[in-house]
Amino acid sequence: MSTASYLPVVDAAGFQAYPAPAKLNLFLHVTGRRADGYHLLESIFQLVDRQDTIWLRVRNDAAVVHHNPLPGVPAESDLTVRAARLLQQHTGCQLGVDLRVDKVLPMGGGMGGGSSDAATVLLALNRLWQLNLSRAALMALGVQLGADVPFFLFGRTALVEGIGEIMTPIAVPEQQFVVLHPAVHVPTPAIFGAPDLSRNTASVKAALLAGELDWMQLHNDLQAVAVAKFPLIGAQLDWLNQFAPARMTGSGSCVFAAFSRQSAQKNASQNQADAVISCLLEGMTGFTCSSISQHQLLDFATD
């Protein structure tokens, strides 16, 4: 879908629907660690068409009202509410918003669901409240909400470096993905804090940007640590490896395998992905999704 043509669906109550797409880490290397303890990363963040939907309705007062907060998550703590209030505080906007979230993306799966939801709120309200903030200004706000939020505001599949703040657009062949969501909760700090985590992987940026290296030749440094702590992730990786090379996204727990979508192979790859999903064992949860090169709301902020 062209970003220029995106028009939200409007429901009977006047809420407008905006997409919040997920991401997959096609690879993830830990290249070092800063003095303040933050890890330096190198990764390709690939946008995919699996998405939450954020429903927004502008209010004439300054209230931010979440109509369906997640069980156990106070509305005040929800990233969507925090994003709206941060935007109000930054701009002095006196408008408010009613919001609700159709949650599809797995929580704690390494696909950036909560970060994407927050980014979509910032992008959509930037237009609905007629704030006209630049992408750079929104990204500066987004980093206050979470390390992955700026990527979704950047809005393009990218080579991501540093602690997530350095992004370079990168062209990646179209892919169809099978994603499995092992039923474990992976605490990200425990993975990054593990003594056996590799923290000195050499940079591959130059080779990737020159087209001399394919992401499939790389790996996720966090995967071995997560598998050691949560064997179910390893078991589902082993199962998915029967069909195509599989790896974990982010710090887990979701794992994925890719199938090419180059022109004539597009239908074949969809059939392959569907065939894998049809073979899921009892207790497994999974879905298919496709790569997208840019966020559907890319033009809701100016570069």
- Reported confidence tier of residue 261, pLDDT bands at 50, 70, 90: low
Can you tell me the mean pLDDT for 24-46? 96
**Mean pLDDT confidence for 183-208:** 96
Domain ranges (residues) in the chain: 1-303
**Residue 98 annotated among the catalytic residues of the structure:** no
Residue-averaged pLDDT of the chain: 94
Structure confidence at residue 283 (pLDDT): 95
pLDDT the model gives residue 5: 66
Q: Which of 78, 117, 148, 299 is catalytic?
A: 148
| CATH architecture observed for domain 1-303 | 2-Layer Sandwich (3.30)
Which of 23, 52, 78, 221 is flagged as catalytic? 23
Which tokens is 263 given?
């022109």
Question: Active site includes 103?
Answer: no
54-74 in b/e burial notation, b at 16+ Cβ within 10 A? Answer: bbbbeeeeeebebeebeeeee
Residue 15 has pLDDT above 90, yes or no: yes
Q: What is the tens place of the pLDDT at every residue in 79-134?
A: 999 999 999 999 999 999 999 999 999 998 999 999 999 999 999 999 999 999 99
pTM over 0.75: yes
